[in-house]
């Protein structure tokens, strides 16, 4: 079938007209072999490799003057083009939604992250069917397609085997997916999803997720070609690096030993000078100053300086490894002889470097995300507890570095992730490499670009139209602008001339070089109730937030606020922002991390959850809602003569989780309070044999966030032991680790059985039943329900 004969405007493409002839028998029949041929891609269409790293800053990679060695990014830039004005949304899911759909993040439901779906069109975390991601277009037009790594576009409550799967990667245009659905993953103990199935935690002791992602990508590329296919392919390589937890082997982190002893102030100055030398920023650019909220490096005591230096050493090693793995994929493509006609788009970061570790950094980011306040001193003690500096970067911790390192990594800009009002949150490096098409090598492209431009650019590059209909649903036009025009002309006038930015109340409006910053008066990592109250409905007036105005052609770094000099321009851009916000479903502004404060979802009807013995890897966001109130876990067991041991049910790990298990004949319950405290209870006597019911009953002091309470253990309804849990986890145990029946996959909740992981139960677990509403009065339930959204607000920064 000739390319002209194919109507590619509607997907799926209709079957062709049969051009042969059919008689009663083969006698006289004339074949039409085009009728059985698959839909071809446009003639000469290139392969496409789209690379996205996570939580990474403009001033991190060596190709952009940073301290982290990124030879892959650098060589692709030297052989292709470097873009120094690429923008993201300033948050993970929103950027990914914009990247995949070619549309602004709010109108595709991702004003927020996938873990936090809300009841407004701009915040539903549900990709609308009339904004289908562009991989679906490639898939329907003769491409083999695959996604590896972080997805973060599947709502939190539909990540199990019951689906629906229409917003999993396979449902939006990917033939193959291997990675994780949520916002983050442990590097050593991920729960891997392959297509529509959770295949669990790899048991290989040497497993390291960033390496495995490259292995799987190369394996898939080889597989595509091994089967005689000459189809072009599209691979979306979305490494979870450098999102927390920052974990990497010492062979990578040791490369940076001592490299950050000079501190973040000096590092930023060094980076800035290199950026000028490389030409990725203008020679007359000014370095923006450190905000008052961050301490001067020289003001820190030796303990903190060394701890912080180690944090950055690990982060740098983690990032270099990611770039190395991307290099392995590039090398494999080259070895296959296909690099010449492969369009590689390598984006360093889905937002600016993350400040979510707070000023001290944290040994366990989930402690921060649950709003557990830890002092500097406590952080140091907990680092000591879990193995000291040597353990920072291992799976003993879920670490995140200090916010000040993120600020340094976003050099030369202000602020970082979440702060959509400033370039530190929104601008990231990008290189584009396509030898067959790009004549210039090592060129710089300064045109304003945005992640919503990626889809339109790829479609134009491969010669495909944006479909008007997909699966019968009329499509909204993409909002992005192809930047293909800039490949041949460094001086081409930019075509993407206007763009709004908004994340959690931080706003900006860009138009023709002018940038209006409208930042909420809140330090991004402050999550305390008093801070959040300032942005509650009826309290916060966004119109009264301070504004800044920058003219980027003369002020690359946003160092010169000219709002006072151009009041008319300020008003013009304010007005334009409100218009764009209305047009693109930005309303209602969420008011920081208060989320949907005061707007409660319906009370769930289900209060009992039954799990049979073979259930594993229940997604961390889908475990029973046991938080902040009383609950029971009951299990029917069969214990053979001679006894049994092992885990009955366990969620997550020693950095947050619970485990009901049998060891040394006794029933035991361990509750890991985010790595800060552990609470253990055990039965006084060994369990009997035969059919046995065991139960753990948690009687909360009050239905309120992080409530303490009393645990009682029962065997066949007789109390056999117990104890107190002083503090419970208010929102979530883990960002990725799942719940298992009859075993404890991945890292153990209780380190006392670490050497026997996954500590499979040697008897039989017939079933486990959670009752999450055994003691609540109606009044209590309502109170608790009101607390729920507040408690969940902390999750919003887990992006």
Between CA 735 and CA 747 the distance in angstroms is: 13
**Cβ contacts of residue 156 below 8 Å, gap of 6+?**
114, 115, 116, 117, 125, 182, 619, 621, 622
Contact segment (CB under 8 A) with other proteins among 290-298, 317-325, 383-391, 731-739 equals 383-391
Between CA 411 and CA 432 the distance in angstroms is: 22
Work out how close the CB of 696 gets to other proteins at its nearest, in angstroms, rounded to a whole number. 22
Return the residue of 195, 341, 381, 712 that touches other proteins, per CB under 8 A.
381
* Residue 297 · residue 405 · CB < 8 Å: no
**Cβ contacts of residue 644 below 8 Å, gap of 6+?**
637, 662, 687, 761, 762, 763
Return the residue of 332, 383, 478, 635 that touches other proteins, per CB under 8 A.
383
Binders of other proteins in range 697-716 (CB under 8 A): none
Work out how close the CB of 673 gets to other proteins at its nearest, in angstroms, rounded to a whole number. 11
Q: Which is nearer to other proteins, 364 or 557 (CB)?
A: 364
Terminal Cα-to-Cα distance of the chain (whole angstroms): 45
Q: Which is nearer to other proteins, 364 or 795 (CB)?
A: 364
User: What are the φ/ψ torsions at residue 717 (nearest 5 degrees)?
Assistant: 70, 5
Q: Which two tokens stand for residue 714?
A: 């029962």
| Interaction pattern, residues 274-303, with other proteins; x per rule: CB under 8 A | ---------------------------xxx
Q: How many residues bind other proteins (CB under 8 A)?
A: 19
Q: Which is nearer to other proteins, 389 or 576 (CB)?
A: 389
Contact segment (CB under 8 A) with other proteins among 192-200, 386-394, 427-435, 660-668 equals 386-394
Binders of other proteins in range 650-689 (CB under 8 A): 677-678
User: What are the φ/ψ torsions at residue 553 (nearest 5 degrees)?
Assistant: -60, -30
Q: Does 583 bind other proteins (CB under 8 A)?
A: no
Work out how close the CB of 384 gets to other proteins at its nearest, in angstroms, rounded to a whole number. 5
Q: Does 314 bind other proteins (CB under 8 A)?
A: no
**Cβ contacts of residue 595 below 8 Å, gap of 6+?**
112, 116, 118, 789, 792, 793, 796
Q: Which is nearer to other proteins, 64 or 673 (CB)?
A: 673
Q: Which is nearer to other proteins, 139 or 358 (CB)?
A: 358
Task: Compute and round to an integer the Cα radius of gyration of the chain.
Answer: 27
Q: Which is nearer to other proteins, 385 or 469 (CB)?
A: 385
Work out how close the CB of 472 gets to other proteins at its nearest, in angstroms, rounded to a whole number. 59
Work out how close the CB of 113 gets to other proteins at its nearest, in angstroms, rounded to a whole number. 33
Q: Does 262 bind other proteins (CB under 8 A)?
A: no
- Nearest Cα neighbor of 621 from 97, 113, 105 is 113
Q: Which is nearer to other proteins, 387 or 688 (CB)?
A: 387
Return the residue of 219, 335, 390, 726 that touches other proteins, per CB under 8 A.
390
* Residue 298 · residue 265 · CB < 8 Å: yes
Q: Which is nearer to other proteins, 413 or 671 (CB)?
A: 671
Q: Which is nearer to other proteins, 163 or 388 (CB)?
A: 388
Q: Which is nearer to other proteins, 363 or 770 (CB)?
A: 363
Q: Which is nearer to other proteins, 187 or 379 (CB)?
A: 379
User: What are the φ/ψ torsions at residue 709 (nearest 5 degrees)?
Assistant: 175, 180
Work out how close the CB of 178 gets to other proteins at its nearest, in angstroms, rounded to a whole number. 35
Between CA 419 and CA 799 the distance in angstroms is: 13
Q: Does 388 bind other proteins (CB under 8 A)?
A: yes
Q: Does 215 bind other proteins (CB under 8 A)?
A: no
Work out how close the CB of 94 gets to other proteins at its nearest, in angstroms, rounded to a whole number. 38
Report CA-CA distances (Å) from 158 to 1, 110, 162, 273, 537: 40, 16, 8, 48, 29
Work out how close the CB of 486 gets to other proteins at its nearest, in angstroms, rounded to a whole number. 50
Between CA 310 and CA 222 the distance in angstroms is: 39
Q: Which two tokens stand for residue 2?
A: 């000739």
Work out how close the CB of 680 gets to other proteins at its nearest, in angstroms, rounded to a whole number. 11
Q: Which is nearer to other proteins, 392 or 596 (CB)?
A: 392
Q: Does 44 bind other proteins (CB under 8 A)?
A: no
Return the residue of 306, 436, 583, 724 that touches other proteins, per CB under 8 A.
306
Biggest CA-to-CA distance, the chain: 92
Q: Does 257 bind other proteins (CB under 8 A)?
A: no
* Residue 540 · residue 508 · CB < 8 Å: no
Work out how close the CB of 728 gets to other proteins at its nearest, in angstroms, rounded to a whole number. 18
Contact segment (CB under 8 A) with other proteins among 157-165, 389-397, 732-740, 787-795 equals 389-397
Q: Does 333 bind other proteins (CB under 8 A)?
A: no
Q: Which is nearer to other proteins, 47 or 379 (CB)?
A: 379
User: What are the φ/ψ torsions at residue 656 (nearest 5 degrees)?
Assistant: 145, 115
Return the residue of 5, 37, 384, 603 that touches other proteins, per CB under 8 A.
384
Q: Which residues pair with 242 in a beta bridge?
A: none
Please say whether the dihedral angle defined by the alpha carbons of residues 359, 365, 370 and 372, taken in this order, is positive or negative: negative
Nearest 5 degrees, angle CA 8-CA 13-CA 14?
125
Beta pairing class for 81-87 and 342-347: unpaired
By 3-state DSSP, what share of the chain in percent is helix, strand and coil, each rounded to 5? 30, 20, 50
Work out how close the CB of 772 gets to other proteins at its nearest, in angstroms, rounded to a whole number. 29
Q: Which is nearer to other proteins, 376 or 572 (CB)?
A: 376
Between CA 207 and CA 50 the distance in angstroms is: 24
Contact segment (CB under 8 A) with other proteins among 18-26, 94-102, 153-161, 384-392 equals 384-392
**Cβ contacts of residue 477 below 8 Å, gap of 6+?**
466
Which residues bind to other proteins, rule: CB under 8 A? 301-303, 306-307, 377, 380-381, 383-391, 677-678
């Amino acid at each position: 079938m000739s390319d002209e004969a194919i109507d590619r405007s509607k997907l799926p493409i209709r079957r062709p007209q049969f051009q042969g002839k059919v008689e009663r028998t083969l006698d006289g029949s004339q074949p039409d072999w085009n009728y059985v041929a698959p839909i071809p891609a446009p003639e000469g269409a290139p392969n496409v490799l789209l690379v996205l790293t996570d939580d990474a800053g403009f001033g991190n990679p060596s190709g952009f003057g940073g301290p982290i060695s990124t030879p892959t990014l650098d060589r692709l830039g030297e052989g292709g083009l470097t873009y120094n004005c690429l923008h993201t949304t300033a948050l993970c899911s929103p950027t990914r939604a914009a990247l995949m759909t070619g549309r602004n993040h709010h109108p595709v439901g991702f004003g927020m992250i996938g873990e936090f779906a809300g009841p407004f069109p701009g915040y539903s975390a549900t990709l609308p069917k009339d904004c289908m991601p562009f991989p679906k277009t490639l898939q329907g037009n003769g491409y083999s397609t695959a996604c590896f790594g972080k997805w973060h576009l599947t709502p939190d409550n539909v990540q199990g085997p019951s689906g629906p799967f229409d917003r999993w990667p396979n449902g939006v245009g990917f033939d193959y997916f291997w990675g994780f659905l949520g916002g983050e993953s442990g590097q050593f103990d991920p729960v891997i999803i392959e297509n529509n199935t959770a295949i669990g935690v790899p048991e290989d002791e040497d497993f390291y997720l960033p390496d495995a992602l490259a292995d799987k990508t190369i394996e898939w590329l080889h597989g595509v070609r091994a089967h005689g296919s000459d189809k072009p392919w599209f691979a979306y390589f979305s490494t979870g690096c450098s999102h927390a937890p920052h974990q990497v082997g010492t062979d990578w982190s040791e490369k940076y030993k001592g490299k950050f002893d000079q501190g973040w102030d000096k590092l930023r100055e060094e980076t800035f000078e290199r950026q000028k030398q490389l030409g990725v920023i203008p020679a007359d650019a000014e370095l923006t100053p450190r905000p008052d909220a961050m301490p001067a490096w020289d003001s820190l005591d030796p303990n903190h300086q060394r701890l912080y230096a180690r944090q950055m050493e690990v982060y740098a090693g983690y990032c270099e490894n990611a770039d190395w793995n991307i290099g392995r994929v590039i090398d494999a493509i080259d070895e296959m002889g296909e690099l010449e006609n492969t369009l590689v788009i390598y984006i360093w970061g889905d937002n600016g470097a993350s400040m979510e570790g707070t000023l001290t950094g944290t040994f366990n980011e989930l402690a921060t995300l649950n709003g557990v306040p830890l002092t500097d001193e406590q952080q140091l003690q907990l680092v000591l507890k879990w193995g000291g500096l040597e353990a920072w970067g291992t799976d003993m911790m879920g670490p995140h570095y200090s916010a000040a390192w993120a600020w340094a990594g976003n050099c030369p800009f202000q602020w970082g992730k979440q702060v959509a009002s400033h370039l530190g949150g929104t601008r990231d490096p990008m290189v584009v490499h396509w030898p067959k098409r790009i004549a210039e090598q090592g060129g710089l492209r300064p045109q304003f670009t945005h992640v919503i431009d990626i889809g339109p650019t790829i479609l134009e590059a491969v010669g495909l139209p944006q479909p008007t209909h997909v699966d019968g649903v009329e499509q909204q036009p993409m909002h992005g602008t192809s930047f293909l025009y800039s490949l041949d002309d460094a001086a081409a006038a930019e075509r993407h001339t206007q763009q709004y930015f908004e994340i959690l109340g931080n706003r900006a409006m860009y138009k023709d070089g002018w940038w209006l910053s409208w930042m909420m008066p809140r330090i991004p990592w402050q999550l305390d109730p008093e801070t959040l109250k300032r942005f509650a409905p009826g309290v916060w007036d966004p119109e009264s937030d301070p504004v800044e105005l920058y003219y980027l052609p003369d002020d690359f770094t946003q160092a010169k606020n000219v709002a006072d000099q151009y009041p008319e321009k300020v008003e013009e851009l304010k007005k334009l922002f409100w218009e764009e916000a209305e047009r693109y479903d930005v309303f209602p502004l969420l008011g920081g991390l208060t989320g949907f404060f005061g707007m409660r979802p319906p009370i769930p009807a289900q209060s009992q959850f039954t799990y049979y013995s073979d259930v594993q890897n229940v997604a961390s966001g889908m475990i029973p809602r046991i938080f902040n109130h009383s609950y029971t876990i009951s299990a029917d067991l069969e214990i053979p003569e001679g006894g049994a041991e092992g885990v009955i049910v366990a969620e997550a790990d020693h950095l947050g989780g619970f485990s009901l298990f049998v060891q040394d004949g006794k029933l035991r319950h361990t509750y890991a309070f985010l790595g800060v405290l552990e609470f253990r209870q055990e039965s006084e006597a060994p369990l009997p044999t035969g059919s046995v019911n065991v139960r753990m009953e948690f009687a909360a002091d009050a239905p309120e966030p992080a409530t303490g309470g009393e645990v009682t253990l029962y065997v066949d309804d007789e109390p056999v032991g117990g104890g107190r849990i002083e503090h419970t986890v208010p929102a979530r145990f883990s960002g990725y680790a799942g719940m298992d029946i009859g075993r404890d996959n991945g890292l153990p909740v209780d380190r006392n059985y670490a050497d026997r992981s996954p500590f499979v139960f040697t008897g039989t677990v017939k079933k486990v039943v959670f009752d999450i509403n055994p003691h609540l009065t109606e009044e209590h339930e309502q109170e608790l329900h009101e607390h729920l959204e507040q408690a969940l607000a902390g999750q919003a920064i887990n992006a």
